[in-house]
Amino acid sequence: MFENASDRLPPPMEIRDLQASMAHLYMERDQTRGRDATFRWLTEEIGELAKAMRTGDRANLEHEFGDVLAWLASLANVEGVDLEGAVARYADACPRCGEAPCACPPA
């Protein structure tokens, strides 16, 4: 299903491991920068993801997906939100209709 540029799959990473790693690497800088500037960085990465979707460079596309996820984890750290708990309602079924696959009207 995936076509990553990496030659081999990395070991599995839990969402909380990623968030903990981001806190270890960047929390002091993230807190010093603050929530608004960290949010701005996240949106800058969203823009870079948009550009990567346009250019068709697979390695760059993968890179930008990673950056968006990393900055989202940084922002969650600054805000004190556990991403894994936040997304848990998507683990088994659509949180809106309760079905798997989702049976909501198209959106």
Q: Is 12 in the site for a second copy (CB under 8 A)?
A: yes
Residues 6+ apart with CB under 8 A from 76: 19, 82, 83, 86
65 binds a second copy (CB under 8 A): yes
State the number of binding residues for a second copy (CB under 8 A). 67
Distance, in Å, from the CA atom of 79 to the CA atom of 35, rounded to the nearest integer, reads: 7
Taking the C-alpha atoms of residue 75 and residue 68, their distance in angstroms, rounded to an integer, is 11
In the complex, the smallest distance separating the C-beta of residue 82 from a second copy, rounded to whole angstroms, is 4
CA distance 20 to 14: 10
Residue 39 as a binder of a second copy (CB under 8 A): the answer is yes
For residue 63 the two structure tokens come to 């890179």
Residues that bind a second copy (CB under 8 A): 1-4, 6, 9-10, 12-18, 21-29, 32-33, 35, 39, 41-43, 46, 49-50, 53, 61-63, 65-66, 68-70, 72, 75-77, 79-94, 100-102, 106-107
